[in-house]
Structure 1
Amino acid sequence: MHVDADGLIGTVGEAPYQDEFCPVLKAVRFRLVGDAGSLVHSIYVYGSVAAGCAIPGRSDLDLSLILNTPPSMNERALLERIRQETESDHPVVSKIDFDIGSLGDFASPDAGMAWRYWLKHHCRCIEGEDLASGIVPFAPSKALALAVNDDFSTVLGQYVTLLREEPPARTSQRLVREASRKVVRATNILRLETDRDWPATLEDHAERFCRLFPEQAREMRYFLEQAHEPVAEPADFTRRLRLFKAWMETVIRNDTPSSQ
Structure 2
Amino acid sequence: MTATQGLDRDGYIAREGSLERVPPAFAPVVAAARERIAAAFGPDRLHGAYLYGSVPRGTAIPGVSDLDVLLALHHEPTAADRAAADALEAALDAEFAEVNGVGVLLFGTGTLLSELERHDLGWFVACLCTPLFGEDLADRLPRYRPTSLLARETNGDVALLLPKWRERLAAAGTDAELRTLARGVSRRLVRTAFTLVMPRWGGWTSDLAASAEVFAGYYPERAAQVRLAAGLARTPAADRTALALLVDDLGPWLAAEYAAVHGVKAPRP
Any residues of structure 2 matched to 1:35-46 within 5 Å, and which?
A: 35-37=40-42, 38-46=44-52
1:131 alignment partner in structure 2: 137
What letter matches 1:22 in structure 2? Answer: A
CA offset digits 1:136-188 (Å, max 9, x no partner): 43111010112222343334543443333225423431321221111000123
1:231 alignment partner in structure 2: 237
Identical aligned residues as a percent: 27
Q: Secondary structure at the match of 2:48?
A: strand
Q: Secondary structure at the match of 2:119?
A: helix
1:18 alignment partner in structure 2: 23
What letter matches 1:99 in structure 2? Answer: L
CA offset digits 1:49-99 (Å, max 9, x no partner): 101221111111011111111112232222212212221121210011122
Measured after TM superposition, the shift of residue 198 of structure 1 is 2.7
1:8 alignment partner in structure 2: 12
Measured after TM superposition, the shift of residue 19 of structure 1 is 2.4
Is the 8 Å Cα contact of residues 66 and 102 (structure 1) preserved in structure 2? yes
What letter matches 1:125 in structure 2? Answer: P
Any residues of structure 2 matched to 1:1-260 within 5 Å, and which?
A: 2-14=6-18, 15-37=20-42, 38-191=44-197, 195-234=201-240, 236-255=242-261
Q: Which runs of 5+ in 2 are unaligned?
A: 263-269
- Given the superposition, is the C-alpha separation of residues 23 and 194 from structure 1 closer, same or farther in structure 2, using an over 3 Å criterion? closer
Q: Secondary structure at the match of 2:146?
A: coil
- Given the superposition, is the C-alpha separation of residues 206 and 56 from structure 1 closer, same or farther in structure 2, using an over 3 Å criterion? same
- Given the superposition, is the C-alpha separation of residues 190 and 19 from structure 1 closer, same or farther in structure 2, using an over 3 Å criterion? closer
What letter matches 1:3 in structure 2? Answer: L
- The CA distance in 1 between the partners of 2:156 and 2:108, in whole Å, is 19
Measured after TM superposition, the shift of residue 196 of structure 1 is 2.4
TM-score, normalization by structure 2:
0.85
Q: Secondary structure at the match of 2:107?
A: strand
Is the 8 Å Cα contact of residues 164 and 235 (structure 1) preserved in structure 2? no
Is the 8 Å Cα contact of residues 44 and 125 (structure 1) preserved in structure 2? yes
Is the 8 Å Cα contact of residues 175 and 238 (structure 2) preserved in structure 1? no
